[in-house]
Structure 1
Protein backbone atom coordinates (compact mmCIF):
# COMPACT_ATOMS: atom_id res chain seq x y z
CA UNK A 1 0.00 0.00 0.00
CA UNK A 2 1.07 3.57 -0.75
CA UNK A 3 0.13 6.35 1.64
CA UNK A 4 -0.31 9.96 0.54
CA UNK A 5 -0.30 12.60 3.28
CA UNK A 6 -1.74 16.08 2.82
CA UNK A 7 -1.64 18.58 5.72
CA UNK A 8 -4.28 21.30 5.55
CA UNK A 9 -5.27 24.42 7.46
CA UNK A 10 -8.45 26.04 6.08
CA UNK A 11 -7.91 24.87 2.51
CA UNK A 12 -11.50 24.34 1.36
CA UNK A 13 -10.83 26.25 -1.87
CA UNK A 14 -7.90 24.01 -2.84
CA UNK A 15 -8.24 20.59 -1.21
CA UNK A 16 -10.73 19.22 -3.75
CA UNK A 17 -8.42 19.72 -6.72
CA UNK A 18 -5.51 18.33 -4.72
CA UNK A 19 -7.26 15.13 -3.65
CA UNK A 20 -8.74 14.57 -7.10
CA UNK A 21 -5.28 14.81 -8.66
CA UNK A 22 -3.96 12.23 -6.18
CA UNK A 23 -6.89 9.95 -6.96
CA UNK A 24 -5.98 10.17 -10.64
CA UNK A 25 -2.33 9.40 -9.86
CA UNK A 26 -3.45 6.41 -7.78
CA UNK A 27 -5.22 4.96 -10.83
CA UNK A 28 -2.12 4.96 -13.02
CA UNK A 29 -1.86 1.57 -14.74
CA UNK A 30 1.84 1.25 -13.88
CA UNK A 31 0.86 0.87 -10.22
CA UNK A 32 -0.81 -2.40 -11.21
CA UNK A 33 -3.74 -1.83 -8.92
CA UNK A 34 -1.71 -1.33 -5.73
CA UNK A 35 -3.84 0.33 -3.09
CA UNK A 36 -3.30 4.02 -2.43
CA UNK A 37 -4.78 5.65 0.67
CA UNK A 38 -5.04 9.40 1.04
CA UNK A 39 -4.71 10.97 4.48
CA UNK A 40 -5.80 14.60 4.82
CA UNK A 41 -4.68 15.99 8.16
CA UNK A 42 -6.82 18.93 9.25
CA UNK A 43 -4.78 21.21 11.47
CA UNK A 44 -6.98 23.66 13.38
CA UNK A 45 -9.42 23.95 10.47
CA UNK A 46 -12.51 26.11 10.85
CA UNK A 47 -13.80 25.85 7.28
CA UNK A 48 -15.18 23.08 5.05
CA UNK A 49 -11.84 21.45 4.20
CA UNK A 50 -12.83 18.28 6.03
CA UNK A 51 -16.22 18.08 4.33
CA UNK A 52 -14.62 18.30 0.89
CA UNK A 53 -12.00 15.68 1.75
CA UNK A 54 -14.65 13.36 3.23
CA UNK A 55 -16.77 13.67 0.10
CA UNK A 56 -13.80 12.41 -1.93
CA UNK A 57 -13.32 9.43 0.42
CA UNK A 58 -10.02 10.63 1.84
CA UNK A 59 -9.12 9.54 5.37
CA UNK A 60 -9.49 12.68 7.48
CA UNK A 61 -7.44 13.15 10.65
CA UNK A 62 -7.65 16.01 13.13
CA UNK A 63 -4.92 17.87 15.00
CA UNK A 64 -4.97 21.22 16.76
CA UNK A 65 -1.36 22.32 16.68
CA UNK A 66 -0.86 24.80 13.79
CA UNK A 67 2.35 22.86 13.20
CA UNK A 68 2.98 21.32 9.79
CA UNK A 69 5.61 18.93 11.14
CA UNK A 70 3.08 17.47 13.55
CA UNK A 71 0.44 17.31 10.81
CA UNK A 72 2.69 15.46 8.38
CA UNK A 73 3.88 13.09 11.14
CA UNK A 74 0.27 12.36 12.13
CA UNK A 75 -0.65 11.41 8.60
CA UNK A 76 2.49 9.32 8.19
CA UNK A 77 1.79 7.45 11.43
CA UNK A 78 -1.72 6.62 10.24
CA UNK A 79 -0.38 5.36 6.90
CA UNK A 80 2.29 3.25 8.57
CA UNK A 81 -0.32 1.78 10.91
CA UNK A 82 -2.08 0.53 7.78
CA UNK A 83 1.19 -1.01 6.52
CA UNK A 84 2.10 1.53 3.87
CA UNK A 85 5.40 0.67 2.21
CA UNK A 86 5.85 4.14 0.71
CA UNK A 87 4.86 7.59 1.98
CA UNK A 88 4.25 10.44 -0.46
CA UNK A 89 3.69 13.99 0.73
CA UNK A 90 2.14 16.98 -0.95
CA UNK A 91 0.34 20.18 0.06
CA UNK A 92 -3.33 21.10 -0.03
CA UNK A 93 -2.79 23.93 -2.53
CA UNK A 94 -0.94 21.64 -4.91
CA UNK A 95 -1.98 19.25 -7.68
CA UNK A 96 0.16 16.27 -8.59
CA UNK A 97 0.86 14.86 -12.04
CA UNK A 98 -0.97 11.70 -13.15
CA UNK A 99 2.30 9.74 -12.96
CA UNK A 100 3.49 11.37 -9.73
CA UNK A 101 3.51 8.23 -7.61
CA UNK A 102 4.86 6.09 -10.43
CA UNK A 103 7.78 8.44 -11.00
CA UNK A 104 8.65 8.50 -7.29
CA UNK A 105 8.79 4.71 -7.23
CA UNK A 106 10.76 4.51 -10.49
CA UNK A 107 13.59 6.45 -8.84
CA UNK A 108 14.28 3.27 -6.83
CA UNK A 109 15.64 5.28 -3.92
CA UNK A 110 14.89 5.40 -0.21
CA UNK A 111 13.64 8.96 -0.61
CA UNK A 112 12.73 11.23 -3.51
CA UNK A 113 12.83 15.02 -3.64
CA UNK A 114 10.83 16.29 -6.61
CA UNK A 115 10.35 19.69 -8.21
CA UNK A 116 7.49 22.15 -8.37
CA UNK A 117 6.05 24.35 -11.08
CA UNK A 118 3.70 27.33 -10.99
CA UNK A 119 1.14 28.18 -13.67
CA UNK A 120 -0.87 30.91 -11.95
CA UNK A 121 1.18 34.01 -11.08
CA UNK A 122 -1.74 36.31 -10.31
CA UNK A 123 -0.81 38.90 -7.69
CA UNK A 124 2.89 38.78 -8.54
CA UNK A 125 4.89 41.03 -10.80
CA UNK A 126 6.50 39.83 -14.00
CA UNK A 127 9.84 40.31 -12.26
CA UNK A 128 8.95 37.79 -9.54
CA UNK A 129 7.85 35.23 -12.11
CA UNK A 130 10.98 35.79 -14.18
CA UNK A 131 13.16 35.45 -11.09
CA UNK A 132 11.65 32.05 -10.36
CA UNK A 133 11.94 30.87 -13.95
CA UNK A 134 15.60 31.87 -14.23
CA UNK A 135 16.83 30.80 -10.79
CA UNK A 136 14.88 27.62 -10.08
CA UNK A 137 16.66 24.46 -11.22
CA UNK A 138 14.08 22.18 -12.80
CA UNK A 139 16.34 19.24 -13.66
CA UNK A 140 17.64 16.00 -12.23
CA UNK A 141 20.33 16.63 -9.65
CA UNK A 142 18.61 19.73 -8.24
CA UNK A 143 18.81 20.31 -4.51
CA UNK A 144 15.31 21.61 -3.83
CA UNK A 145 13.33 20.21 -0.91
CA UNK A 146 9.57 20.67 -1.05
CA UNK A 147 7.01 19.18 1.31
CA UNK A 148 4.68 19.50 -1.68
CA UNK A 149 6.68 16.87 -3.61
CA UNK A 150 8.43 14.43 -1.34
CA UNK A 151 8.46 10.65 -1.06
CA UNK A 152 10.14 8.23 1.33
CA UNK A 153 10.06 4.52 1.99
CA UNK A 154 8.43 3.37 5.21
CA UNK A 155 11.67 1.81 6.39
CA UNK A 156 13.77 4.94 5.80
CA UNK A 157 11.14 7.16 7.40
CA UNK A 158 11.02 4.95 10.48
CA UNK A 159 14.83 4.80 10.63
CA UNK A 160 15.07 8.56 11.21
CA UNK A 161 11.92 8.67 13.37
CA UNK A 162 9.96 10.74 10.89
CA UNK A 163 9.11 14.42 10.87
CA UNK A 164 10.12 16.61 13.75
CA UNK A 165 7.42 18.82 15.33
CA UNK A 166 8.60 21.91 13.45
CA UNK A 167 6.34 24.72 12.30
CA UNK A 168 8.62 25.35 9.32
CA UNK A 169 11.37 23.53 7.40
CA UNK A 170 10.12 20.18 8.66
CA UNK A 171 10.74 18.80 5.16
CA UNK A 172 14.33 20.04 5.14
CA UNK A 173 14.97 18.53 8.57
CA UNK A 174 13.62 15.15 7.42
CA UNK A 175 15.77 15.05 4.29
CA UNK A 176 18.86 16.12 6.24
CA UNK A 177 18.21 13.30 8.72
CA UNK A 178 17.83 10.83 5.85
CA UNK A 179 21.12 11.95 4.31
CA UNK A 180 22.87 11.71 7.68
CA UNK A 181 21.51 8.17 8.07
CA UNK A 182 23.12 7.21 4.76
CA UNK A 183 19.98 6.29 2.85
CA UNK A 184 19.72 6.93 -0.87
CA UNK A 185 18.03 10.19 -1.86
CA UNK A 186 17.02 10.87 -5.46
CA UNK A 187 16.92 14.51 -6.57
CA UNK A 188 14.61 14.03 -9.51
CA UNK A 189 12.65 16.28 -11.86
CA UNK A 190 10.46 13.36 -12.95
CA UNK A 191 7.85 13.43 -10.13
CA UNK A 192 6.03 16.69 -10.83
CA UNK A 193 3.52 18.86 -9.04
CA UNK A 194 1.96 22.25 -9.70
CA UNK A 195 1.70 24.44 -6.65
CA UNK A 196 0.15 27.77 -5.76
CA UNK A 197 1.94 31.10 -5.76
CA UNK A 198 -0.86 32.70 -3.76
CA UNK A 199 -0.07 35.64 -1.53
CA UNK A 200 -1.95 34.23 1.49
CA UNK A 201 0.07 31.02 1.78
CA UNK A 202 -0.33 29.17 5.07
CA UNK A 203 3.10 27.77 5.91
CA UNK A 204 5.64 30.14 7.48
CA UNK A 205 8.99 29.79 5.78
CA UNK A 206 7.46 27.95 2.83
CA UNK A 207 7.29 28.66 -0.88
CA UNK A 208 4.85 31.55 -0.44
CA UNK A 209 7.14 33.21 2.07
CA UNK A 210 10.07 32.80 -0.30
CA UNK A 211 8.13 34.49 -3.10
CA UNK A 212 7.17 37.37 -0.82
CA UNK A 213 10.83 37.86 0.12
CA UNK A 214 11.81 37.91 -3.55
CA UNK A 215 9.05 40.44 -4.24
CA UNK A 216 10.24 42.73 -1.45
CA UNK A 217 13.87 42.44 -2.56
CA UNK A 218 13.05 43.22 -6.18
CA UNK A 219 10.82 46.13 -5.16
CA UNK A 220 13.60 47.56 -2.98
CA UNK A 221 16.10 47.21 -5.82
CA UNK A 222 13.71 48.91 -8.24
CA UNK A 223 13.11 51.75 -5.78
CA UNK A 224 16.85 52.24 -5.28
CA UNK A 225 17.34 52.39 -9.05
CA UNK A 226 14.59 54.99 -9.39
CA UNK A 227 16.07 57.13 -6.60
CA UNK A 228 19.61 56.96 -8.03
CA UNK A 229 18.31 57.84 -11.48
CA UNK A 230 16.39 60.81 -10.07
CA UNK A 231 19.54 61.98 -8.33
CA UNK A 232 21.50 61.73 -11.56
CA UNK A 233 23.73 58.94 -10.33
Structure 2
Protein backbone atom coordinates (compact mmCIF):
# COMPACT_ATOMS: atom_id res chain seq x y z
CA UNK A 1 0.00 0.00 0.00
CA UNK A 2 1.08 3.55 -0.77
CA UNK A 3 0.35 6.21 1.84
CA UNK A 4 -0.10 9.93 1.19
CA UNK A 5 0.17 12.41 4.05
CA UNK A 6 -1.38 15.87 3.84
CA UNK A 7 -0.91 18.15 6.87
CA UNK A 8 -3.59 20.82 7.14
CA UNK A 9 -4.35 23.77 9.39
CA UNK A 10 -7.64 25.49 8.51
CA UNK A 11 -7.52 24.64 4.81
CA UNK A 12 -11.23 24.34 3.98
CA UNK A 13 -10.83 26.52 0.89
CA UNK A 14 -8.14 24.36 -0.70
CA UNK A 15 -8.26 20.82 0.68
CA UNK A 16 -10.97 19.66 -1.74
CA UNK A 17 -8.87 20.57 -4.77
CA UNK A 18 -5.81 18.83 -3.30
CA UNK A 19 -7.72 15.63 -2.59
CA UNK A 20 -9.31 15.49 -6.03
CA UNK A 21 -5.85 15.56 -7.58
CA UNK A 22 -4.58 12.87 -5.23
CA UNK A 23 -7.52 10.59 -6.08
CA UNK A 24 -6.77 10.98 -9.79
CA UNK A 25 -3.10 10.15 -9.19
CA UNK A 26 -4.09 7.13 -7.07
CA UNK A 27 -5.98 5.67 -10.04
CA UNK A 28 -3.03 5.88 -12.46
CA UNK A 29 -2.77 2.66 -14.51
CA UNK A 30 0.96 2.29 -13.86
CA UNK A 31 0.19 1.60 -10.20
CA UNK A 32 -1.39 -1.68 -11.34
CA UNK A 33 -4.23 -1.32 -8.88
CA UNK A 34 -2.07 -0.96 -5.77
CA UNK A 35 -4.06 0.66 -2.97
CA UNK A 36 -3.37 4.28 -2.10
CA UNK A 37 -4.54 5.62 1.26
CA UNK A 38 -4.77 9.37 1.75
CA UNK A 39 -4.48 10.73 5.27
CA UNK A 40 -5.16 14.37 6.14
CA UNK A 41 -3.60 15.38 9.44
CA UNK A 42 -5.83 18.05 10.95
CA UNK A 43 -3.48 20.23 12.96
CA UNK A 44 -5.47 22.49 15.30
CA UNK A 45 -8.18 22.92 12.67
CA UNK A 46 -11.16 25.08 13.59
CA UNK A 47 -12.89 25.10 10.24
CA UNK A 48 -14.50 22.52 7.92
CA UNK A 49 -11.25 20.96 6.66
CA UNK A 50 -11.97 17.63 8.34
CA UNK A 51 -15.53 17.47 7.10
CA UNK A 52 -14.47 18.17 3.52
CA UNK A 53 -11.58 15.69 3.72
CA UNK A 54 -13.80 12.91 5.04
CA UNK A 55 -16.37 13.58 2.37
CA UNK A 56 -13.58 13.43 -0.18
CA UNK A 57 -12.60 9.91 0.83
CA UNK A 58 -9.57 10.69 2.96
CA UNK A 59 -8.78 9.41 6.41
CA UNK A 60 -8.41 12.11 9.05
CA UNK A 61 -6.16 12.27 12.08
CA UNK A 62 -6.35 15.17 14.53
CA UNK A 63 -3.39 16.67 16.37
CA UNK A 64 -3.10 19.94 18.26
CA UNK A 65 0.48 20.95 17.60
CA UNK A 66 0.58 23.83 15.09
CA UNK A 67 3.79 22.16 13.97
CA UNK A 68 4.18 20.69 10.49
CA UNK A 69 6.97 18.33 11.52
CA UNK A 70 4.76 16.77 14.18
CA UNK A 71 1.82 16.62 11.78
CA UNK A 72 3.78 14.90 9.01
CA UNK A 73 5.33 12.45 11.48
CA UNK A 74 1.93 11.57 12.97
CA UNK A 75 0.49 10.91 9.53
CA UNK A 76 3.45 8.83 8.46
CA UNK A 77 3.30 6.70 11.60
CA UNK A 78 -0.42 6.06 11.18
CA UNK A 79 0.05 4.87 7.60
CA UNK A 80 3.07 2.73 8.51
CA UNK A 81 0.94 1.00 11.13
CA UNK A 82 -1.64 0.32 8.41
CA UNK A 83 0.99 -1.40 6.26
CA UNK A 84 2.31 1.29 3.90
CA UNK A 85 5.50 0.48 1.98
CA UNK A 86 5.91 3.93 0.42
CA UNK A 87 5.11 7.36 1.86
CA UNK A 88 4.30 10.41 -0.26
CA UNK A 89 3.99 13.89 1.22
CA UNK A 90 2.24 16.96 -0.15
CA UNK A 91 0.41 20.02 1.19
CA UNK A 92 -3.20 21.10 1.36
CA UNK A 93 -2.57 24.09 -0.91
CA UNK A 94 -0.98 21.93 -3.62
CA UNK A 95 -2.19 19.90 -6.60
CA UNK A 96 -0.22 16.81 -7.58
CA UNK A 97 0.18 15.67 -11.17
CA UNK A 98 -1.91 12.68 -12.38
CA UNK A 99 1.26 10.54 -12.56
CA UNK A 100 2.56 11.71 -9.16
CA UNK A 101 2.61 8.37 -7.34
CA UNK A 102 3.56 6.39 -10.45
CA UNK A 103 6.55 8.58 -11.25
CA UNK A 104 7.85 8.38 -7.69
CA UNK A 105 7.84 4.60 -7.76
CA UNK A 106 9.32 4.54 -11.27
CA UNK A 107 12.44 6.29 -9.98
CA UNK A 108 13.35 3.10 -8.07
CA UNK A 109 15.22 5.00 -5.38
CA UNK A 110 14.84 5.24 -1.61
CA UNK A 111 13.56 8.82 -1.82
CA UNK A 112 12.27 11.27 -4.41
CA UNK A 113 12.46 15.07 -4.35
CA UNK A 114 10.25 16.65 -6.99
CA UNK A 115 9.66 20.21 -8.17
CA UNK A 116 6.83 22.69 -7.75
CA UNK A 117 5.13 25.13 -10.10
CA UNK A 118 3.47 28.31 -8.83
CA UNK A 119 -0.25 28.28 -9.64
CA UNK A 120 -0.93 32.00 -10.03
CA UNK A 121 1.36 34.99 -10.40
CA UNK A 122 -1.40 37.55 -9.92
CA UNK A 123 -0.16 40.32 -7.63
CA UNK A 124 3.50 39.76 -8.50
CA UNK A 125 5.39 41.99 -10.89
CA UNK A 126 7.18 40.66 -13.94
CA UNK A 127 10.46 41.41 -12.18
CA UNK A 128 9.46 39.41 -9.11
CA UNK A 129 8.45 36.44 -11.21
CA UNK A 130 11.71 36.65 -13.15
CA UNK A 131 13.68 36.73 -9.90
CA UNK A 132 11.90 33.58 -8.73
CA UNK A 133 12.43 31.73 -11.99
CA UNK A 134 16.07 32.77 -12.15
CA UNK A 135 16.68 31.12 -8.78
CA UNK A 136 14.64 27.97 -9.41
CA UNK A 137 16.02 24.95 -11.27
CA UNK A 138 13.19 23.06 -12.97
CA UNK A 139 15.37 20.27 -14.36
CA UNK A 140 16.74 16.84 -13.60
CA UNK A 141 19.39 17.00 -10.90
CA UNK A 142 17.92 20.04 -9.14
CA UNK A 143 18.51 20.30 -5.40
CA UNK A 144 15.17 21.71 -4.22
CA UNK A 145 13.40 20.09 -1.28
CA UNK A 146 9.67 20.63 -0.87
CA UNK A 147 7.39 19.08 1.72
CA UNK A 148 4.70 19.52 -0.93
CA UNK A 149 6.49 17.08 -3.24
CA UNK A 150 8.42 14.43 -1.40
CA UNK A 151 8.34 10.63 -1.30
CA UNK A 152 10.32 7.82 0.27
CA UNK A 153 10.21 4.17 1.17
CA UNK A 154 9.07 3.30 4.66
CA UNK A 155 12.40 1.56 5.23
CA UNK A 156 14.33 4.74 4.42
CA UNK A 157 11.97 6.89 6.48
CA UNK A 158 12.35 4.70 9.54
CA UNK A 159 16.11 4.28 9.18
CA UNK A 160 16.51 8.07 9.03
CA UNK A 161 14.35 8.52 12.12
CA UNK A 162 11.37 10.24 10.49
CA UNK A 163 10.40 13.89 10.65
CA UNK A 164 11.77 16.01 13.47
CA UNK A 165 9.42 18.12 15.61
CA UNK A 166 10.16 21.28 13.61
CA UNK A 167 7.72 24.06 12.69
CA UNK A 168 9.47 24.50 9.34
CA UNK A 169 12.28 22.95 7.26
CA UNK A 170 11.35 19.53 8.59
CA UNK A 171 11.53 18.29 5.00
CA UNK A 172 15.03 19.67 4.44
CA UNK A 173 16.31 18.23 7.71
CA UNK A 174 14.96 14.74 6.90
CA UNK A 175 16.39 14.69 3.38
CA UNK A 176 19.76 15.76 4.76
CA UNK A 177 19.69 12.77 7.09
CA UNK A 178 18.74 10.46 4.21
CA UNK A 179 21.67 11.81 2.22
CA UNK A 180 24.06 11.36 5.16
CA UNK A 181 22.98 7.72 5.37
CA UNK A 182 23.87 7.19 1.73
CA UNK A 183 20.29 6.68 0.56
CA UNK A 184 19.65 6.93 -3.16
CA UNK A 185 17.64 10.11 -3.79
CA UNK A 186 16.07 11.04 -7.12
CA UNK A 187 16.20 14.79 -7.76
CA UNK A 188 13.73 14.89 -10.61
CA UNK A 189 11.42 17.32 -12.38
CA UNK A 190 9.29 14.48 -13.71
CA UNK A 191 7.52 14.36 -10.32
CA UNK A 192 5.51 17.59 -10.31
CA UNK A 193 3.17 19.55 -8.06
CA UNK A 194 1.41 22.86 -8.61
CA UNK A 195 1.38 24.90 -5.41
CA UNK A 196 -0.17 28.08 -4.12
CA UNK A 197 1.49 31.47 -4.50
CA UNK A 198 0.08 32.64 -1.18
CA UNK A 199 2.38 34.53 1.14
CA UNK A 200 0.67 33.73 4.45
CA UNK A 201 1.72 30.12 4.83
CA UNK A 202 1.44 27.84 7.85
CA UNK A 203 5.15 27.10 8.33
CA UNK A 204 7.33 30.06 9.42
CA UNK A 205 10.07 29.38 6.85
CA UNK A 206 8.06 27.47 4.26
CA UNK A 207 7.41 28.15 0.59
CA UNK A 208 4.95 30.96 1.34
CA UNK A 209 7.70 32.79 3.21
CA UNK A 210 9.91 32.47 0.16
CA UNK A 211 7.14 33.98 -1.97
CA UNK A 212 6.71 36.81 0.52
CA UNK A 213 10.41 37.61 0.36
CA UNK A 214 10.07 38.19 -3.38
CA UNK A 215 7.78 41.13 -2.58
CA UNK A 216 10.37 42.58 -0.21
CA UNK A 217 13.37 42.19 -2.47
Same fold (TM over 0.5): yes
How far the C-alpha of 1:115 sits from its partner, in A, is 0.2
What displacement does 1:177 show?
0.6
Deviates more, 1:83-92 or 1:120-129: 120-129
Q: Does the Cα contact within 8 Å between 1:94 and 1:148 map onto a contact in 2? A: yes
Aligned counterpart, 2:170: 170
Aligned-residue Cα RMSD (Å) equals 0.8
**More deviation, 123-132/80-89:** 123-132
Q: CA deviation at 1:204?
A: 1.1
Cα distance in 1, alignment partners of residues 129 and 210 from structure 2: 12
User: TM-score by structure 1 length?
Assistant: 0.91
Quote the residue 1:61 is aligned against.
61
| Alpha-carbon displacement from aligned partner over 1:160-219 (angstroms, at most 9, x marks no partner) | 1100000010000100010111111110111100000012222210111011112201xx
Paired residues in the alignment total 217
Partner residue of 1:31?
A: 31
Moved over 3 A (4+): none
Structure 2, unpaired ranges of 5+: none
Other-structure match for 1:20: 20
Deviates more, 1:27-36 or 1:205-214: 205-214
Give the secondary structure class of the aligned counterpart of 1:33: coil
The secondary structure found in structure 2 opposite 1:6 is strand
Q: 1:180 matched to which residue of 2?
A: 180
Is the Cα contact below 8 Å between 2:200 and 2:209 reproduced in 1? no
Query: Structure 1: where are the runs of 5+ without partners?
Result: 218-233
CA distance in 1 between counterparts of 2:12 and 2:201 reads 13
Match of 1:85 in 2: 85
CA contact (8 A) 1:128 1:214 kept: yes
Q: Distance in 1 between matches of 2:123 and 2:167?
A: 26
Structure 2 counterpart of 1:49: 49
Residue 119 of structure 1, CA deviation: 2.7
The residue aligned with 1:102 is 102
Contact kept? 1:123, 1:199, Cα under 8 Å: no
1:131 Cα deviation from its structure 2 partner? 1.4
TM-score, scaled to structure 2: 0.98
User: What is the SS of the residue equivalent to 1:38?
Assistant: strand
Shift of 1:122: 2.1
In the alignment, does 2:209 pair up with 1:201?
Answer: no
Supply the distance in 1 between the matched residues of 2:176 and 2:49 (Cα, whole angstroms): 31
Counterpart contact for 2:94–2:193, Cα < 8 Å? yes
Larger radius of gyration: 1
